[in-house]
Structure 1
């Protein structure tokens, strides 16, 4: 086990693991062994019926990262031009609007630089022979990989690494699958750039008050 683990309490780890877009250190290599440690921890996450159908693609080759980065840039450009882009939300609420504009700026920054992140981690699921997703509620399906991906991000945070949860590239999932040579039955769940972060540390983010989103017994 790495000696780089930070002395964070469980609550501090959970409340300060942030999406890192602008503070990824693009010039500092990340040891593959450190990524493997984080993935070993991720594999302890729950999965439906303990099937463990997850697969993990770790991309370190500069050419591969650059090609994926171009796909992501294309997806980000389309997102930022859409009415639902973060920078356009809550226009009638000055406080939340300012926060969302900062989020939009950071999304644009990551769109320009994701391909330069030293490590890209793509959690995947094997879903039948042709990769077709079933009809109806898919919570159980994706619930068999998303907790593991979050565990990876928590483990990375504890080791001084920054990560960002991104899914915009899934609008071009087949293109990325072609770059990586993924089998037809493997579907991607997210794209997680990973790097050491710049600056000192992270603070809990502003969130809605609990009582605005909490429902007891019924809606």
Structure 2
């Protein structure tokens, strides 16, 4: 059953959910199927529809992915993650909370009831640099649609790619064939509460350029 959120509310309150994922509540597989059907309606470059979705619920497979994820994520976070010394004190405080929640997810990835990997047909390593945006542009809108559909049903997720440092190991674990590129890992669970709010953002005027920079 979907929520009564307006389109604007849905778009502005779909957050990256990490600490508020409910690890103990099962997720109905039909909810995942419904949300992926919605994701398949997203734009696809040249209508290629080259996406593939791997839904992982097996505890041993989730544990294997969780271990590989931690192996990549924790050193990254220990090294400062995406921290920027140029941020204002207020922005640094927010980033500290983001890093803390990212560490929490890394330490608990194996507990998330559903892990969804979004992939694309084709070897991303062979795609020229100028064509990389077009290649991944066929996956990004679909993954975002999936996240919106989850939010409308009381579930949450977070876009993460830190597992890609061990993409070959993940591919062997899940039997992903050669020529299929992993693009995103989406941990999926019901959320602890649904009262998400718009995030603090820099003013539009600080990033808006009209006609010229």
Same fold, TM-score > 0.5, yes or no: yes
In structure 2, what is the Cα distance between the partners aligned to 1:36 and 1:186? Answer: 21
Contact 1:20–1:164 (Cα < 8 Å) also in 2: yes
Partner of 1:75, secondary structure, is helix
User: C-alpha displacement at 1:81, in angstroms?
Assistant: 2.3
User: C-alpha displacement at 1:107, in angstroms?
Assistant: 0.6
Contact 2:55–2:115 (Cα < 8 Å) also in 1: yes
User: C-alpha displacement at 1:91, in angstroms?
Assistant: 6.1
Q: Residue 134 in 1 paired to residue 134 in 2? A: no
2:34 corresponds, among 34, 37, 57, to 37
Q: Residue 125 in 1 paired to residue 117 in 2? A: no
Match of 2:169 in 1: 175
Q: Residue 201 in 1 paired to residue 162 in 2? A: no
Q: Cα deviation per residue 1:53-96 (whole Å; 9 max; x = unaligned)?
A: 0000000101000100011111111211224x14x434662101
In structure 2, what is the Cα distance between the partners aligned to 1:90 and 1:15? Answer: 27
Q: Residue 75 in 1 paired to residue 80 in 2? A: no
In structure 2, what is the Cα distance between the partners aligned to 1:59 and 1:78? Answer: 25
In structure 2, what is the Cα distance between the partners aligned to 1:157 and 1:200? Answer: 8
Match of 1:210 in 2: 204
- Provide the TM-score with structure 2 as the length reference: 0.96
In structure 2, what is the Cα distance between the partners aligned to 1:188 and 1:200? Answer: 30
Contact 2:117–2:182 (Cα < 8 Å) also in 1: yes
Q: Quick check: 16-25 or 133-142, which moved more?
A: 133-142
- Provide the TM-score with structure 1 as the length reference: 0.93
In structure 1, what is the Cα distance between the partners aligned to 2:145 and 2:85? Answer: 31
Match of 1:93 in 2: 88
Q: CA RMSD in A?
A: 1.3
Match of 1:18 in 2: 15
In structure 1, what is the Cα distance between the partners aligned to 2:24 and 2:110? Answer: 12
Q: Residue 59 in 1 paired to residue 80 in 2? A: no
Q: Structure 1 unaligned runs (5+)?
A: none
In structure 2, what is the Cα distance between the partners aligned to 1:117 and 1:97? Answer: 28
| Alignment coverage as a number of residue pairs | 212
User: C-alpha displacement at 1:105, in angstroms?
Assistant: 0.4
Contact 1:132–1:185 (Cα < 8 Å) also in 2: no
In structure 2, what is the Cα distance between the partners aligned to 1:183 and 1:92? Answer: 42
Contact 2:154–2:194 (Cα < 8 Å) also in 1: no
